[in-house]
Amino acid sequence: MNATQNLHDLGQSIWLDNITRELLTSGILARYIGELSVTGLTSNPTIFDHAIQNSDLYDDAILKKALEGKLGEVLFFELALEDLLQAAELFRPIYEATGGVDGWVSLEVSPLLADDTAGTIAAATKLHASAQCNNMFIKIPGTPAGIPAIEEAIFAGVPVNVTLLFSREQYIAASEAYMRGIERRIASDLDPAVGSVASLFISRWDVAIKDKVPEALHNRLGIAIATRTYQAYRDQLASPRWQKLAAAGARPQRLLWASTGTKDPAAADTLYIDALAAPGTINTMPEKTLLAFAEHGNANNVMRIDESDAEAVIAEFARQGIYEEALAEKLQRDGARSFAKSWNELLTCIESKSTALTESKRG
């Protein structure tokens, strides 16, 4: 039995943090599902940017859509939906077998809407309606403008993957937005079973402070933040407020570990997978990390919930001048800017390919 099966048996879902047309057409994704216990998939603008820029497998579809007069975001979302709907079909048996707990894929609203509540609500609702797919999350950032959009999307029955969360406090804000949406659905006699996950980004903490602290503190802050947040997650699920919603038929908003590829070449390539083996959560892994973990990962130790240890680590960083609350806000802003940059590069790539392909066709 490989390490991924052990992790799955421990109670943590393994999702792939990647999507390309090659993964689908080659059968690799199907193999990951069958052999590596992969039960879901996430995407983001950077992933699609790399997929489309570095492959000619999208060229025929881009040409066809360009000749139909489709441009920019419209063309991109059609491409993305083609990939994600295929992936969703592969995961549908898992979705059905788990009663909607697992087997999901994710599509993100435009990152340019990170500070636009109304625009995010409209985009999320439109994408959900366009997909017509029960096991597709719409990703909404947990930014200050995104939090009310999450509540409204959940109330509208749109399954939401809350992205760009970096701290316990940001997670709690997202969790409470989710619960408000569910409470409003119950008050309106609507089905409370609307899926959601909350994605906490891990490795970016350690990248941000690597050159600012002694080597002994390298690669420790992200795991400490995760431990603190996992305790908050468990507290939320045990709370009377959530128990009341669960009794009415609501689904838990599961905690998802994101950004779990090791960035430090001096650290183990499965560092964050080994450390975050927490039952009831999800770990979405880059493809390279997934394969490394399957080969030599360690899923034998359940994640320790020791807030005192986590708080001691966070306090040590504070003594080094690293204050987690301010850094969490910065990481979220930087993450939103990074996705917006990838989005703009993606649209530029599609425009360039569209122009070149149509000129060659007419040529």
Residues noted as catalytic: 139
Cα distances (Å, whole numbers) of residue 207 to 118, 145, 168, 218, 259: 33, 26, 19, 9, 11
Instruction: Give CA–CA dist 155/194, Å, rounded.
Output: 9
Residues 164 and 135 sit within 8 Å (Cβ to Cβ): no
Write the DSSP symbol of residue 212: G
Residues 6 or more apart whose CB falls under 8 angstroms from that of 101 comprise 251, 254
Residues 239 and 184 sit within 8 Å (Cβ to Cβ): no
Residues 257 and 282 sit within 8 Å (Cβ to Cβ): yes
| φ, ψ (nearest 5 deg) of residue 70 | -90, 140
Residues 76 and 347 sit within 8 Å (Cβ to Cβ): yes
Residue 47's nearest CA partner among 356, 237, 287 is 287
Cα angle value 41/45/50 (rounded, 5°)? 90
Write the DSSP symbol of residue 64: H
